[in-house]
Amino acid sequence: MRENKFKQIYSQLVSDIQKGNIQPNSFLPSEHELVEQFQTSRETIRKALKLLSEHGYIQKMQGKGSLVLDVKRMDFPVSGLVSFKELAVKMGKETITYVEHFSETVPSKEIAEQLKLKADELIWEIVRVREIDGERIIVDKDFINKTYIPSLTKTICEQSIYEYIENDLGLTISFARKEFTVEEPTNEDQRYLDLEGHCNIVVVKNYVYLEDASLFQFTESRHRPDKFRFVDFARRSH
Amino acid sequence: MRENKFKQIYSQLVSDIQKGNIQPNSFLPSEHELVEQFQTSRETIRKALKLLSEHGYIQKMQGKGSLVLDVKRMDFPVSGLVSFKELAVKMGKETITYVEHFSETVPSKEIAEQLKLKADELIWEIVRVREIDGERIIVDKDFINKTYIPSLTKTICEQSIYEYIENDLGLTISFARKEFTVEEPTNEDQRYLDLEGHCNIVVVKNYVYLEDASLFQFTESRHRPDKFRFVDFARRSH
DNA sequence: AAGTGGTCTAGACCACGCA
DNA sequence: GCGTGGTCTAGACCACTTG
């Protein structure tokens, strides 16, 4: 019971929507009714509804109510920040991670700049290849500031680095800036991936920040183009 | 003075940050100080700060304050919903739009399904090619439900359809679901674009909704891969 | 006119960071 | 212990939709 009330209410409503207890294209109970139902204040209900709206579950309409959107097709929630492992589990796919390279090293000038490193700061450099349903589809090149993550092992990289950072180190990953581009495959891509003649690579550059706004990781994720898909829900800011 | 107070405060702070009146890596005045400064209540200040946080301008830190993030590199804000024209203007690029096809027509079965059309509903079908700095880079295929946009002209399509819908028709575009994939060029792509041997096309499918949650437009935007770039700011939802 | 969501207020108490 | 942000409350007034 020590959890945030508005997040509880949000989770309850999400669960009701996903289970079909609340039907798409119907209206939620009014804010006043929800106040009674959850025995709380209106602003708290409104915080919960704001979350639902931001995540694409409802559309609020002044004077009418909160319309439940049809969320069934939102099967691939890559919007926001999700690690490869979290995704793979969600998709129920057979995936294997190969750690092709793992070292503690002095950063190149380029990477030092990307990570805004101070002189003498070291990094972890990791290359991981992701195999999905028997095909090597993705290569992830991670550069992690050793100042924030002092120890790391190959075994952790085979599992989930994010899980280790959040659960074991107790750090909180807070936000990221992502950039998507398309490039021609490098020799390295050819070597690591089953390219099968594809002549482009989707490159996702990810700058990941902790909650104190420190940039601790730069990841370059290189995807075989035919297996790349990114879905986003966006509200227009007027 | 009839505008929302919290949006005014947000805009004021954004402008101060962008002009450099408030330095990156410094802290904003505390919420209490902002309450005094803007002569308002704390919840109103907090709404403004929430907007700043969602848009990547600040990082809130409990017990410390609101840290101003370095936003200079966020030069290409495609996150959210922005039309081609709004973007082109922001980038200061020399762009030309060619309307290659414009018709009012009976939808194909596939499009009828995408737009969830009722029987007998007609659509506008538009193909536009975007030339940037002398190269034909993007082809946009728009399918618009005629029920919501009863009249449309070729001239409007040469300008901005969104501008017409929002300013002239007074409709509000509210949210969208986007999907990014990479495909092989079709004959149509070859015909419309200066592909220069590129053997893939970045496809952005965009389902656009009005504020009453009605799906009024499906757009397929096909980009030459070397000119495609998408930047996103994402907060992790825990 | 009644019911809905949107904004704003003034105040309370809690959790966290820091000296 | 003090100042910070995080949550929650109870109530007010406004804007919009519908009958």
Tokens of B188: 């149509």
Closest CA to B159 of B78, B80, B84: B84
Tokens of A18: 């996903």
Predicted local confidence at residue B82, as pLDDT: 54
Judged by C1' against the alpha carbon of A41, the nearest nucleotide is: D9
Q: What percent of chain B has pLDDT over 90?
A: 58
**Mutation target vs B (from A28, A73, A160, A177; most B CBs, 10 A cutoff):** A177
Class of B5-68 per CATH? mainly alpha
pTM: 0.87
Residues of chain B neighbouring A209 (CB-CB closer than 8 A): 59
Decide if A212 and B61 are in contact by the 8 Å CB cutoff: yes
Closest CA to A209 of B52, B49, B56: B56
DSSP for chain A, written as a single string = --S-HHHHHHHHHHHHHHHTSS-TTSBPPPHHHHHHHHTS-HHHHHHHHHHHHHTTSEEEETTTEEEEP--TT-----SS---HHHHHHHHT--EEEEEEEEEEEPPPHHHHHHTTPPTT--EEEEEEEEEETTEEEEEEEEEEETTTS----HHHHHS-HHHIIIIIS---EEEEEEEEEEEPPPHHHHHHS--TT---EEEEEEEEEETT--EEEEEEEEE-GGG--EEEEEEPP-
**pLDDT category of residue A78 using cuts at 50, 70 and 90:** very low
User: Is B11 near strand C, with its CB below 7 A from some atom of it?
Assistant: no
**Looking at the domain A84-227, which fold is it?**
Chorismate lyase (3.40.1410)
> Which run of H or of E encompasses B231?
strand B230-235
Question: Are A177 and B233 contacting, i.e. CB atoms less than 8 angstroms apart?
Answer: yes
Closest partner residue to B226 among A182, A231, A237, by Cβ? Answer: A182
- ∠ CA A22-A24-A29, nearest 5°, is 50
Predicted local confidence at residue A2, as pLDDT: 45
Minimal C-alpha gap between B153 and chain A (Å): 25
Decide if B176 and A212 are in contact by the 8 Å CB cutoff: no
> Which run of H or of E encompasses B223?
strand B215-223
The overall average pLDDT reported for chain A is 88
Instruction: Compute the distance between CA of residue B107 and CA of residue B92 in angstroms, rounded to an integer.
Output: 36
Tokens of A198: 């594809």
Tracing tokens 């805009």 back to the chain, one arrives at B11
DSSP for A203-222, written as a single string = EEEEEEEETT--EEEEEEEE
Instruction: Compute the distance between CA of residue B216 and CA of residue A136 in angstroms, rounded to an integer.
Output: 39
Instruction: Compute the distance between CA of residue A137 and CA of residue A2 in angstroms, rounded to an integer.
Output: 43
Instruction: Compute the distance between CA of residue B116 and CA of residue B108 in angstroms, rounded to an integer.
Output: 12
Predicted local confidence at residue A76, as pLDDT: 47
Instruction: Compute the distance between CA of residue A134 and CA of residue B72 in angstroms, rounded to an integer.
Output: 42
- Does the structure show a pLDDT above 70 at B143? yes
| Tens digit of each residue's pLDDT (9 = 90 or more) over A207-217 | 999 988 888 89
| Tens digit of each residue's pLDDT (9 = 90 or more) over A101-143 | 999 999 999 999 888 888 889 999 999 999 988 999 999 999 9
**Mutation target vs B (from A42, A71, A182; most B CBs, 10 A cutoff):** A182
User: Is B227 near strand C, with its CB below 7 A from some atom of it?
Assistant: no
Minimal C-alpha gap between B182 and chain A (Å): 6
Higher local confidence (pLDDT), B5 or A71: B5
Judged by C1' against the alpha carbon of A30, the nearest nucleotide is: C4
Predicted local confidence at residue B178, as pLDDT: 85
Decide if B200 and A233 are in contact by the 8 Å CB cutoff: no
Alpha-helix residue ranges (DSSP H) falling in B25-108 = 31-38, 42-54, 84-91
| Tens digit of each residue's pLDDT (9 = 90 or more) over B82-111 | 556 666 666 677 789 999 999 999 999 999
CB pairs under 8 A between A and B: 131
Decide if A234 and B176 are in contact by the 8 Å CB cutoff: yes
User: Is B5 near strand C, with its CB below 7 A from some atom of it?
Assistant: yes
**pLDDT category of residue B76 using cuts at 50, 70 and 90:** very low
The full set of domain ranges for chain B reads: 5-68, 84-227
Task: Name the residue in chain A with its Cα closest to that of B53.
Answer: A175
Judged by C1' against the alpha carbon of B44, the nearest nucleotide is: C8
A178, with CB counted inside 10 A (0-12, 13-18, 19+), is buried
Instruction: Compute the distance between CA of residue B119 and CA of residue A219 in angstroms, rounded to an integer.
Output: 48
**Mutation target vs A (from B182, B195, B205, B237; most A CBs, 10 A cutoff):** B182
Q: Using DSSP bridges, classify how beta strands B95-105 and B173-183 pair: parallel, antiparallel or unpaired.
A: unpaired
Find the residue closest to D6 using CA and C1' atoms: B62
**pLDDT category of residue B127 using cuts at 50, 70 and 90:** very high
Phi-psi region of B176 (alpha: psi -120 to 50; beta: other; left: phi over 0): beta
**pLDDT category of residue B73 using cuts at 50, 70 and 90:** low
Task: Name the residue in chain A with its Cα closest to that of B184.
Answer: A226
Residue B225, SS3 per DSSP? helix
Over the Cα atoms of chain B, what is R_g?
A: 21
DSSP for A113-128, written as a single string = HHTTPPTT--EEEEEE
Alpha-helix residue ranges (DSSP H) falling in B55-149 = 84-91, 109-114
Predicted local confidence at residue A236, as pLDDT: 80
Q: How far is the CA of B179 from the C1' of C5 (A)?
A: 31
